[in-house]
Structure 1
Amino acid sequence: MSAARPAAPPGPEGEDKDKGGVRAALGGLTTRGRSFLAAGVAAAACAYVLGQSDLLRVGLLLASLPLICVAVLYRTRYRVAASRRLSPSRVPAGAEARVHLRMDNVSRMPTGLLMLQDHVPYVLGPRPRFVLDRVEAGGRREVSYRVRSDLRGRYPLGPLQLRLSDPFGMCELTRSFSAFDTLTVIPRTEVLPAVRLAGEASGYGDGRQRTLALAGDDDIIPRAYRYGDDLRRVHWRSTARYGELMVRREEQPQRARCTVLLDTRRIAYQGAGPDSAFEWAVSSAASALVHLMERGFAVRLLTDTGSSVPGAGADGFAGSHESVDSAGLMLDTLAVVDHSDGAGLSRAIDALRGGDGGGDEGLLVAFFGDLDEEQAALAARMRQRSGAAVAFVLDAGTWVTGGAVTGAVDERLRQLREAGWTALPVRPGTALTDLWQQAGRERTQAPGGTNGFSGGWS
């Protein structure tokens, strides 16, 4: 929410600026106001030549009326405050957000006709305009409008322009407020089904394997009994040794990890717009992130540039106690992610090697664009740093022509599968939900149950 405070009366240091404001106010005279002023001056000149005092009074009246209107509006425009509120400030692509505008008259005089105009980018819709009747002293008016974008990104709203007019239509003045807000349009996300593969996951999710937290020697030794502890947890051998009731420590769940890799190389995609292959990859990565975090995974977002979302954690993974903030941070990053100028995936491999996960970074879900033979070999090497790996490979050319998957893509898929990936081709118009279920079935039916992975993913 942004607000604009009423300007204070100009001081001695702002006399030049005040004079410029007066000249601008005189420049706001309408055709009617200029006509009245010219008629008054002409009447006063004729009265002086003809010696008619009554005509002089009429001329002064005609000339003073627009000047009085200018003076009143000039003071009034600095006694009107505006504020803007977004509801919500983060929306998925294609969804609507409502912008609420509020005008407050903080002066002791009522205003004349008010015309509001808020500046919005053209992708959010037409520029909103409102006409408000006079606002009484100390009164307020509230209006709202809707914005919507099919393209993700961050869009500034504002500044708000206010045009004041006097009741006689003699003068119109415009005031621009400096405050603005930002609307974040995040990628569309799909609700993915809970897919459980063979084996037990060493962490949260459908498959659970609880392990003791090995934070130190003290964690292995049973602790003293406390009032309310379950007697079934009493460790009798330690009780006999120490001469007092000792209980086993509660087992701690080990949080499963997952890395979502998004290929953003410019040469890997063709076309543009909300239905392009790159936008599908971005939206699918967002869907996977949200789904996996809801299933209890510690997730990080990684791109081909080797950079992960800043602030997700010391190791780049989103912590459980910060899942909501981390999810919002990742979605904000995906809202503005663009093509990279890199030609390879080597920096992503270096980022995976640099992890401190003890050699196993858990599940790896990757969204690749076009892969040549060299990049497919690099992607195959990523499998060495993950317990399980699932790849969605887009043939960007088919997204432009609408044809079938080419033989080159089939060769890349075979190369990834031989390295242990569960690799699936992505055709135009395919829903991630269907591919997600298909990946689950293929990993379950693979030799050994999980392609050599002893864990599971949901």
Structure 2
Amino acid sequence: MATQALREPSASVAQHPATSPASAAPTAGWRDVLAVIGERVMQRLRAIFAVFRAAAWILCGLSIVLWVLGMLWGWWELIVVALVVAIVLAVSALFLIGRTTYNIVLDLARTRVVVGERAMGALTLINDGERAILPSRIVMPVGSGRGEFAVSRLAPGETSEELFAIPTHRRGVVQVGPVSIVRGDPFGLFERAHRREEPVDLFVHPRTVRFPGQSLGFVRDLEGLPATDLSRDDVSFHTLNEYQPGDDLRRVHWRSTARTGTLMVRQYEETRRSHFVIGLSTSRREYGSEEEFELAVSLAGSIGLRAVHDSGHVQLRFPGHTVEAAHGKRLLDALAAIDYAPARTGGLTALAHSIAAQLPPSSVVVLVCGAEVSAEQLRQACARMPQGSRVLVLAAHEAAAPALRQIADADVVTVGVLEDLPLALAKVLA
């Protein structure tokens, strides 16, 4: 009995072969095949319907309505009109047939320009096929606008080149492209577009002004970088010189003195700690106008380029972002893309707090803001700066005369015109 009881489950399983994994696999496989076929059919239908413009849909509906009414009422005139509309649609659709695969080259003469400079580009279309390509239209988005070029019929091996200029009245990053080839009919009923060339970014840098010298100075530091200025007392050894009256006898190099018979002293290079931080406030409420904000961006770029040129470790800080400006191009690219911060983001005081918390070893901190920042806000911002850092505040105030004032231990410089920046900094060093 026990043996029979043990065999019963095996018999039960044998009576239901449809539930086995082997039999379920073909069903699942057919479902996957049908799903793939259905997806491809839907993609093809979407591609077909995408060529219809609004006028084509209206004419299709009108043709169907006229045909139905003509058949119901027996009006042959309506049926004839419906046939004429259908023929127009069919003939217009024939204009979409043909090859439109140009070899497209999008070339910008310069991908980085300054506000106001002319940005030129060229769009080259090459028919590298064996058959001619019918006339078409090229659509190329440029920022928020777009450019359109009419291309005539291109024979095999023929080339067409279109030159264009991009307006650069405002700072920003302008996306040029992607280039699309558009084929359509004379009535504007159908349109087929092929996206080809990938977009290219055009950086429109802010205006900057250059000025000589290390205008903000540096803090001498044991961990600094060697400079070209010689010193009698520092930690970066440079060379040996003969003893001159007044030299510190503790710097005498006795081994060289014994070898040459002349009293020799060590000569050093000054080392400078050059961790330079630029904090740019992007709070809209701290600026009186768009022009004032652009002036602040230009001030940050100008003083940042000077610091980069002086081989300093320069960081650009604005709400939510820190940019390592290893070279001037990276600094200006970041400034080109900068915009107002969201309304909930704090202003200059919050920016100063983040600099003190995340960039404590800063030797020189330059805060750039607008004229709407109060003296109390400036005092709070300067009080948060790291101990031992030199703090300078540049306040952009459109059309104001250069002015200097002291708030806490910081120099606050008001600049109304970008070209006044060197003069304003000269007041700080006076």
TM-score, normalised via structure 2 length? 0.62
For residues 112-134 of structure 1, what are the alpha-carbon distances to aligned partners after superposition, in whole Å with 9 as ceiling and x for unaligned? 22322212235xxx743322332
Could you say which structure has the greater relative contact order, defined with CA pairs below 8 angstroms and 6 or more residues apart?
1
**Partner residue in 2 for 1:365:** 366
Q: Counterparts of 2:188 and 2:410 in 1: how far apart (Å)?
A: 75
Letter in 1 for 2:132: P
**Contact residue 116 and residue 160 of structure 1 kept, 8 A:** yes
| 1:345 correspondence with 2:345 | no
Q: Counterparts of 2:211 and 2:50 in 1: how far apart (Å)?
A: 59
| Matched residue SS, 1:391 | strand
How many residue pairs are counted as aligned between the two chains? 336
- Residues 343 and 19 of structure 1: is their aligned pair in 2 closer, same or farther, counting only changes over 3 Å? closer
**Contact residue 286 and residue 334 of structure 1 kept, 8 A:** yes
| 1:390 correspondence with 2:409 | no
For residues 395-442 of structure 1, what are the alpha-carbon distances to aligned partners after superposition, in whole Å with 9 as ceiling and x for unaligned? 5xxx4xx6x78xxx99xx6451xx333322223xx23x4332332244
Q: Counterparts of 2:413 and 2:220 in 1: how far apart (Å)?
A: 23
**Contact residue 349 and residue 378 of structure 2 kept, 8 A:** no
Please give the root-mean-square deviation of Cα atoms over the aligned residues, in Å: 4.6
Q: Counterparts of 2:349 and 2:392 in 1: how far apart (Å)?
A: 16
For residues 48-82 of structure 1, what are the alpha-carbon distances to aligned partners after superposition, in whole Å with 9 as ceiling and x for unaligned? xxxxxxxxxxxxxxx9xx86x966852413x3343
**Partner residue in 1 for 2:426:** 440
Q: Counterparts of 1:199 and 1:116 in 2: how far apart (Å)?
A: 55
For residues 162-194 of structure 1, what are the alpha-carbon distances to aligned partners after superposition, in whole Å with 9 as ceiling and x for unaligned? 23479x999975324163232222222122233
Segments of 5+ residues of structure 2 without an aligned counterpart are: 1-35, 57-86, 238-252, 259-265
TM-score, normalised via structure 1 length? 0.59
Measured after TM superposition, the shift of residue 135 of structure 1 is 1.5
**Contact residue 201 and residue 208 of structure 1 kept, 8 A:** no
Residue identity (%): 21
Q: Counterparts of 1:421 and 1:94 in 2: how far apart (Å)?
A: 35
Q: Counterparts of 2:354 and 2:379 in 1: how far apart (Å)?
A: 15
| Matched residue SS, 1:99 | strand
Measured after TM superposition, the shift of residue 95 of structure 1 is 1.9
Segments of 5+ residues of structure 1 without an aligned counterpart are: 1-10, 31-62, 215-234, 241-247, 313-317, 445-458
| 1:270 correspondence with 2:288 | yes
- Residues 386 and 140 of structure 1: is their aligned pair in 2 closer, same or farther, counting only changes over 3 Å? farther
Bigger fraction of residues in strand: 2
Q: Counterparts of 2:201 and 2:306 in 1: how far apart (Å)?
A: 26
Measured after TM superposition, the shift of residue 201 of structure 1 is 6.0
Q: Counterparts of 1:270 and 1:441 in 2: how far apart (Å)?
A: 25
Q: Counterparts of 2:413 and 2:117 in 1: how far apart (Å)?
A: 30
Matches within 5 A, 1:14-33: 14=40, 17-18=43-44
- Residues 180 and 346 of structure 1: is their aligned pair in 2 closer, same or farther, counting only changes over 3 Å? closer
**Partner residue in 2 for 1:281:** 296
| Matched residue SS, 2:212 | coil
Measured after TM superposition, the shift of residue 293 of structure 1 is 0.7
**Partner residue in 1 for 2:314:** 299
Q: Counterparts of 1:338 and 1:170 in 2: how far apart (Å)?
A: 40
Q: Counterparts of 1:151 and 1:184 in 2: how far apart (Å)?
A: 11
**Partner residue in 2 for 1:76:** 99
Measured after TM superposition, the shift of residue 285 of structure 1 is 0.3
1:147 to 158, 161, 166: 166
| 1:174 correspondence with 2:192 | yes
**Partner residue in 2 for 1:378:** 380
